[in-house]
Amino acid sequence: MELKNDLILRAARGEAIERYPVWLMRQAGRILPEYRAVRAKLSGFKELVETPEFACEVTIQPVDLLGVDAAIIFSDILVVPEAMGLEYQMLEQKGPWFEKTIRSEEGLKYAETNFDIEDRLGYVLDAIRMTSKELDGRVPLIGFAGAPWTIFCYMVEGKGSKTFSESRKLLYTNPTLAHELLNRITDVTIQYLKAQVKAGAHMLQVFDSWAGILGTEQYAEFGLKYLDKIANALNEVPLTIFSKGAITSIPAVAKLNCNTVGLDWNMDPVKTREIIGESRTIQGNLDPCALYASHKEVENLTRNMLDSFTSKRHIVNLGHGVYPDIDPEKVKTFIKTVKDYELRY
């Protein structure tokens, strides 16, 4: 199916664009009343993730309602550890929780790799197929997965944490086990992302949400090494890598076989451009809190960011997922400012 708007794909590849493309992490869900209406009919977050019709509906909402230049499939990075054998619950106000965790060799029985992706994650692939059809080429559809390090954090810790000290402990006490688990997650993630492309994803993003809790050397060994495998295994569609918080590792991320490097709101796109040159597209990175400001101020802050860009290789986004209590009208102002901005490159 031919895409009517392929701006984001061209920006990712460094091709000519008429204007910067724009979308928001977490655009599907959270802020839209239309999303909450769908969510209210269901038993919980997981029913939404696991029912392709609903996942498709909320994936398309921001395309219709906000006018973003890409859709991102509504799902969760934790579907991968669940498929491998660790079931999770999403607790209200508390976040994800796993009954079992992997902290010894014995725990590896909960990290299966020999299974059929269609069999255990078919519901995500069905959602992608359905959404791809429904979108009818209006904008590209982004598929995604968590980075091995981030998924490892949850499989070892069993829940969110400020320090993920149980996960980091394993790097010191049993690095062999850590690498075995990371390898397994990597294998499944590659299969899963390939299946997403086959199902209709036009672009992929890998989220390394907990990259920032490791120092540069440990992130190279336990994070980047596996992102490298993933990046080398995926060549069909543009790939974005978002290593949140890993500010000292951005030059290394930019050397991976990817098209786009995601920046969080604390990273400087100008300095990043100086370091990585024109070889990669930069995605981001307005502070999500900027959308709490007045409309005029949202416009100014967005415009200041755009003014700082010195290249066409940008995909505009926030530096983190949009926060739940942000007024959708502010998001519209952000998007309009980007769309109205006259490109200089």
**Residue numbers at the binding site for a copy of itself (CB under 8 A):** 160, 162-163, 165, 168-169, 171-173, 212-216, 218, 245, 247-248, 265-268, 287-290, 292-294, 297, 301, 320, 323
76 labelled catalytic: yes
State phi, psi for 67 to the nearest 5 degrees. 75, 30
**How would you classify the pairing of strands 314-318 and 281-286?**
parallel
CB of 213 to a copy of itself, least distance (A): 8
What are 266's two structure tokens?
Answer: 């604390």
Q: Cβ closer to a copy of itself: 41 or 162?
A: 162
Residue 39 falls in the annotated catalytic set: yes
C-alpha 176/C-alpha 101 separation (Å) is: 17
Could you tell me the two tokens for 193?
Answer: 């992302």
CB 241 within 8 A of CB 208: yes
To a copy of itself, the closest distance from the beta carbon of 178 in angstroms equals: 12
Between 173 and 279, name the residue whose CB sits nearer to a copy of itself: 173
Catalytic residue among 6, 20, 26, 184: 26
Q: How far is the CB of 160 from a copy of itself (least distance, A)?
A: 8
Structure tokens at 8: 């984001």
Instruction: Assign 163 to helix, strand or coil.
Output: coil
Q: How far is the CB of 32 from a copy of itself (least distance, A)?
A: 18
Instruction: List residues bridging with 206 in a β-sheet.
Output: 145, 241
Residue at 323: amino acid letter: Y
Which CB sits closer to a copy of itself, 232 or 308?
308
Q: What is the distance, to the nearest Å, from the Cα of residue 339 to the centroid of all Cα atoms in its chain?
A: 22
Question: Is 129 in the active site?
Answer: no
For residue 106, the 8-state DSSP code is: G
Q: What is the DSSP letter of 213?
A: G
Q: How far is the CB of 294 from a copy of itself (least distance, A)?
A: 8
- Say how far apart CA 42 and CA 32 lie, in whole Å: 16
Distance of CA 303 to the CA centre of its chain: 24
Is 168 an annotated catalytic residue?
no
Active site residue 307: no
Main-chain dihedrals φ then ψ at residue 239, nearest 5 degrees? -120, 135
Burial class (CB in 10 A: 0-12, 13-18, 19+), 107: middle
Q: Which is nearer to a copy of itself, 60 or 306 (CB)?
A: 306
Choice between 112 and 297, CB closer to a copy of itself: 297
Nearer to a copy of itself, 115 or 323 (CB): 323
Structural element, H or E, at residue 315: strand 314-318
Tokens 């199902």 correspond to 199
Q: How far is the CB of 193 from a copy of itself (least distance, A)?
A: 26
Catalytic residue among 20, 35, 88, 154: 154
Which one from 19, 39, 138, 303 is the annotated catalytic residue?
A: 39
Q: Would you name the residues annotated as active-site residues?
A: 26, 30, 39, 76, 154
